[in-house]
Amino acid sequence: MSLKLGEKAPRFKAMTTHGELDFYDWAGDSWVLLFSHPADFTPVCTTEMGTVARYKDEWEKRGVKAIGISVDPVDDHHEWIKDIEETQKTDVYYPIVADEDRKVAELYGMIHPEALATATVRSVFIIDPNKKIRMTLTYPASTGRNFPELLRVIDSLQLTDSNSVATPADWKMGDRVIISPSITDKAELDEKFPQGYEVVKPYLRYTQLPEKS
């Protein structure tokens, strides 16, 4: 199964390091960062799990809940958390799903045809409060995930959801944004963007959004 952007994230119930949870009930009205790792006690993922934990304030500032998943049992997760907290100097506050029957991994397409049947690929899903998948990304086993980039994507999604804009290449919060090409009426442009805008091409128009107070 290959999930597409805009599709509903599959609902599931699973045992986690925080007990049994229903994914939709747990997520509530929050954004969600759902990320998989191939197995417990693996080096790259140990650093990633610690990084997610250290970014707790950044996730919360954006209304994001984090949840990890692998096909290892919950007892292994708890033992691995001890190593993560020791080596990464942090507190793993978020739940980790124990997907021993691979039901969640298969729902989300986390079992790669070329991978071992018992291992998930290293995928990331950003899911919005309507439970729709807004971003997917799969990393090779040897490359650690870039969490500042995931924060940047969430910032972009949240900004563009509430404004008629898109974000250009290498955009970061505070940079200029691109006005949606769907707005063609000058009166509407002037009303929506009273701060002004630059027309580079009819389809490429930049503006600086006011900072929120």
- Closest by CA to 35, choosing from 121, 118, 101, 98, is 121
Q: Which two tokens stand for residue 6?
A: 């805009």
Residue 45 annotated as catalytic: yes
The strand pairing partners of 125, in sequence order, are: 34, 136
Among the options 45, 124, 133, 165, which is catalytic?
45
Q: What angle do CA 93, 101, 135 make, to 5 degrees?
A: 55
Q: Which two tokens stand for residue 201?
A: 């091409």
Query: Is the four-CA dihedral 32, 35, 40, 43 of positive or negative sign?
Result: negative
How far apart CA 91 and CA 108 sit, in angstroms, is: 27
Q: Are strands 165-166 and 177-179 parallel, antiparallel or unpaired?
A: antiparallel
Find the helix or strand (DSSP H, E) in which 34 lies.
strand 31-36
Q: Are the beta carbons of 42 and 122 closer than 8 angstroms? A: no
How far apart CA 19 and CA 16 sit, in angstroms, is: 5
Number of C-beta neighbours around residue 104 at 10 A: 22
Catalytic residue positions? Answer: 45
